[in-house]
Structure 1
Amino acid sequence: MQHPKFNEDWFNPNADLPYAVEPGEVRAAIKEFYDFYGDLNQFLLREGHGRIETVLRANNALSDFIGNVATEELAQASDTLIINQKQDGFPDILPVDNEQYAEQDYEVHHGEEGIETKCSKSNGGWQAHNNEEAWFIVFRYERGDPEDDVDEMDPIRLVQVLAGSLNEDDWSHSGRNDDSRRTITSSIISSGMYKLRSNPVYEDPAAITGRGEELVEYKQRHAQFDPTFADEHPEYVTEQTTQGEN
């Protein structure tokens, strides 16, 4: 079974993060997730149960698993964060130095400070239940072909970890009429996508998406921290990239 590997070239040490969180703590969380994922799959295969990807067949179940583990690992990697102790509370991760949260034993139904996390295979259109104003971290992943043999299947890989401070105007809200049973959702719109894509913490250059000048901007920014990409795509190397390498 293949084990996912952290690619140092894809790591952005200058990403902007709140609450004194360091990009290196995100790096540690990704590595810990990969170790947990690899150990879990080795156990499942040894016991004849397949892989976590084949056990959790629904995409939303797999996304929940990846997001929950990555979120826990990030909170454990940082001295300034703690998991929200309330199930389905908002946001997912809380700053430990918030006195009001501490008085509630970090069991917060809906707080104004903290980091909400999302996990998805999609390259955009990430959703929530409301137009939320908070810092968000999005874990975007790829998985192997479910039709492949379980021993040969490509592993889950995190291809983007994006961070951004979103406000209510960065969402579109979809309500429902009285007769509908559809879940009420809000989706991140272009302004929110721009904020997130402009601040990658970890990014496979093949996963960069966008249009026109924004896509060029994302690739120029990526070239500032990925030397391999910069060498292979000199058209995206700017003066800022050169200065950052010195």
Structure 2
Amino acid sequence: MDKEVLAYVFKPVNPDLFNPNCILPYGLTVEYIHNAMSDFLDFLGFINQQLHTKGIPRLESFLMPANFSSIVGEFMNITIPKYCPTLVKNQYHNGHPDLIPIGMYPDNAAQHATEGVEVKGSRHHSGWQGHNPESVWLMVFYFDSNTSNDAKTGIAPKPFCFKGVYAAKLDKSDWGFSGRSATSRRTITASVNQNGVQKMKLNWIYGDLGQR
């Protein structure tokens, strides 16, 4: 069968690949995360099938890689609270972190809260980035998919799949911050250092056998 056709067929989230011993905060459970991941596969499958009827490439195949990763993270931010009654999406525009304990902050909105979970989607197995070093719970949904660069580099079509989910309460010392030069226009970012990555992978939530 044509690889492009097969790229529309996702592998379901495997319940056997979840870690029943992982530590999760604020009433979050493995079941809630499983449900949110499955919902994303349903969402992406529906969107891609609709695009296909119009002769438009799959979503992950034409969006800029960072934009698609943001969609993965933002989808989790709105979907996890649908299942988890103790967390809510931070209602402050660009507020931090993404998910906060429901009722803890006025109007469930906080520009910079000390409690909650920052959520990211990433194609990378480590080196996850944020705008500043933070003492915060970080949860990363690590996935594999095509990108907008694949056609010109000869990478074959492949279906989206979740490879791992990791989470831990990070300290500021778990981040590396490089800053930027006075003339640079690059967005200031911090990256989770090796110690932080180790914390998160020791507390893996979901993972293919080779990705833990």
TM-score for both structures, normalised by structure 2:
0.88
| Structure 2 residue aligned with 1:51 | 58
- Separation in 1 of the partners of 2:85 and 2:195? 31
Please give the residue correspondences for 1:84-163 in structure 2 after superposition, counting only pairs within 5 Å. 84-98=90-104, 101=105, 103=106, 105-144=107-146, 146-147=150-151, 153-163=157-167
Please give the residue correspondences for 1:167-182 in structure 2 after superposition, counting only pairs within 5 Å. 167-182=171-186
RMSD: 1.8
- Per-residue CA shift, 1:169-202, capped at 9, x if unaligned? 1011111232322221111111111110001111
- Separation in 2 of the partners of 1:180 and 1:49? 36
Bigger CA radius of gyration: 1
Residue 195 of structure 2 aligns with an amino acid whose one-letter code is: S
- Separation in 1 of the partners of 2:159 and 2:84? 26
- Separation in 1 of the partners of 2:126 and 2:117? 19
- Per-residue CA shift, 1:120-173, capped at 9, x if unaligned? 11111111111101111001000147449xxx9322111111010001110111
Residue 183 of structure 1 aligns with an amino acid whose one-letter code is: T
Aligned pairs, how many? 200
Residue 189 of structure 1 aligns with an amino acid whose one-letter code is: N
- Separation in 1 of the partners of 2:34 and 2:130? 25
- Separation in 1 of the partners of 2:91 and 2:55? 34
- Separation in 2 of the partners of 1:94 and 1:50? 36
| Structure 1 residue aligned with 2:4 | none
Give the stretch that moved more between structures: 168-177 or 195-204: 168-177
TM-score for both structures, normalised by structure 1:
0.76
Runs of 4+ more than 4 Å apart: none
| Structure 2 residue aligned with 1:216 | none
Structure 1, unpaired ranges of 5+: 209-246
- Separation in 1 of the partners of 2:158 and 2:179? 39
| Structure 2 residue aligned with 1:205 | 209
| Residues 10 and 161 in structure 2, CA contact (< 8 A), matched pair in contact too | no
* Percent of matched pairs sharing the same residue: 34
SS at match of 1:116: strand
